[in-house]
Amino acid sequence: MLFQVGGQGTRPTFFEMAAAQQLPSSLRAAITYSIGVLALRRPFLHRVLDYEDEFFALLMLVLETHSLRTTDASFSESLYGLRRRAINVRVKTDNTRSHTGDGVHHSGLDKHQKVLSVVFLVVLPYFKSKLHTIYNKEREATLQASLWAHADERFDDTDYSDGGGNTFVSNSGSDAETSVRTRLTKRIQKIIGACYPLLHAGNEGLTFAYQLLYLLDATGFYSLGLHALGIHVCRATGQEMMDTSSRISKIRSHERERLRGPPWLKAVQGALLSCAYAVLDYAQTGLIAAVFFFKMMEWWYQSAEERMSAPTVYPPPPPPPPPKVAKEGIPLPPDRTACPLCSQKRANPSVVAVSGFVFCYTCIFKYVSQYKRCPITLMPANVEQIRRLFHDV
């Protein structure tokens, strides 16, 4: 157990159950990302990504089987100190038969419940992932067909012939040449594309209903799968932790006693069993540590890439120097609010864009129309370069 969440009683809180349920998907995302990063240097790892569903299902099959066998809990539930218990409902009746009540008694999981738990934890999520993939491909194919339908119609039912009048096989005859297997596969994909949204919506609706009822303490089952198996998830006590450790030791001792063969073969088999036990014992801690490690590396390299790709921020350039007053030009008046042409306070102030000096609109318009230049700097200008100012200093 890596995490111990507070709370009273043996009934886990809603947040414990939600965290345990979401851990496999988070673990899958972390493992997929880690393999993708390693595949950049080791291209052969791309084959693992091509069979991502099968690889993760096999990994979870080993982890879930080992966890249910040794701790009576799923891989994620054992991380939070939870245990699965079979429920037995018994009717209690007192001697006077005036009161009757139902009692729920918990017991350990039997073999068929462990097998069905593996089915609900590994097999059904695997098929759900494959159905989701097929549905996405079918939806993309439908969208492409709707987009390119008009273009494909021009080539359908078209016969191609050579100069001698010999006709080649047309595209319309390709359907007749397809095998029965291909037709069956396409039909199954269409059925999945039509039925999967309904199945997915129904599953999500039931999941939400059970979670809401569990949150409101209206039921002891967190999911439909647990209800179908007749299993409650409870917190493990300290005595159960000790019993689990002793049971694991007994199981492993019994497995070592079952080894057959010459001494050297027993030694090899014992070494392999020890390695397998060590891997399974540290699988939980190792996987969680790997998730944190690769997330930290992702953040580290992402921050470095952002620093390298970020544009360099330079200080803003200084403003250009003001234009110089020409010797033959009109001198600037001492009053900054006066027009250099009429020496009066500016009316309808307007600026000459080529120089930046401000005049009265009528004064500068007449001057530029006549001389085609700025009166102060003598820079070439025209009336289109006169701009009206709505705010004057």
Span 73-100, average pLDDT: 67
More confident residue, 92 or 337: 337
Span 81-86, average pLDDT: 87
Beta-carbon count within 10 A of 350 CB:
22
Walk across the sheet containing 100-107 and list its strands: 100-107, 82-93, 231-235
Where does 148-282 have alpha helices with state H?
149-153, 174-177, 180-215, 224-229, 238-257, 263-281
- Specify the pLDDT at position 156: 47
- Specify the pLDDT at position 2: 46
Residue 163 in this model has a pLDDT that exceeds 60: no
What is the DSSP annotation of 159-187? --B-TTSPBPPPGGGHHHHS-HHHHHHHH
Of the chain, the percentage scoring pLDDT greater than 70 comes to: 75
Burial label for 214, CB within 10 Å (0-12, 13-18, 19+), is buried
What is the band of 315 on the pLDDT scale with cuts at 50, 70, 90?
Answer: confident
What is the band of 310 on the pLDDT scale with cuts at 50, 70, 90?
Answer: low
Structural contact between residues 83 and 233, judged by C-beta atoms closer than 8 angstroms: yes
Condensed to tens digits (0 to 9), the pLDDT of residues 233-267 reads 888 777 766 666 677 777 777 777 777 778 888 78
**Buried b vs exposed e over 133-162: b needs ≥16 C-beta within 10 Å?**
eebeebeeeeeeeeeeeeeeeeeeeeeeee
**Interacting residues of 311 by C-beta distance below 8 A, sequence separation 6+:** none
Structural contact between residues 380 and 364, judged by C-beta atoms closer than 8 angstroms: no
Cα–Cα separations (whole angstroms), residue 296 to 223, 289, 291, 338, 341? 33, 11, 9, 66, 70
Question: Any idea which of 35-49, 60-74, 211-225, 285-299 has the lowest mean pLDDT?
Answer: 285-299
What is the band of 361 on the pLDDT scale with cuts at 50, 70, 90?
Answer: very high
User: Packing angle between helix 14-39 and helix 52-71, nearest 10 degrees?
Assistant: 140
More confident residue, 16 or 108: 16
More confident residue, 161 or 15: 15
What is the band of 351 on the pLDDT scale with cuts at 50, 70, 90?
Answer: very high
Rounded-to-integer distance, Cα 346 and Cα 53, Å: 79
Span 353-366, average pLDDT: 91
What is the band of 150 on the pLDDT scale with cuts at 50, 70, 90?
Answer: very low
User: Packing angle between helix 263-281 and helix 283-309, nearest 10 degrees?
Assistant: 50
**Interacting residues of 368 by C-beta distance below 8 A, sequence separation 6+:** 352, 374, 381, 382, 383, 385, 386
Does the pTM surpass 0.75? The reply is: no
Which residue's entry shows tokens 């879930």? 64
Of the chain, the percentage scoring pLDDT greater than 90 comes to: 16
Structural contact between residues 355 and 338, judged by C-beta atoms closer than 8 angstroms: no
Tokens for 276, please give them: 């397998």
Cα–Cα separations (whole angstroms), residue 50 to 39, 57, 185? 12, 13, 21
Span 90-96, average pLDDT: 46
Span 83-94, average pLDDT: 65
Rounded-to-integer distance, Cα 84 and Cα 10, Å: 11
Look over the chain and give the mean of its residue pLDDT values, rounded to a whole number: 78
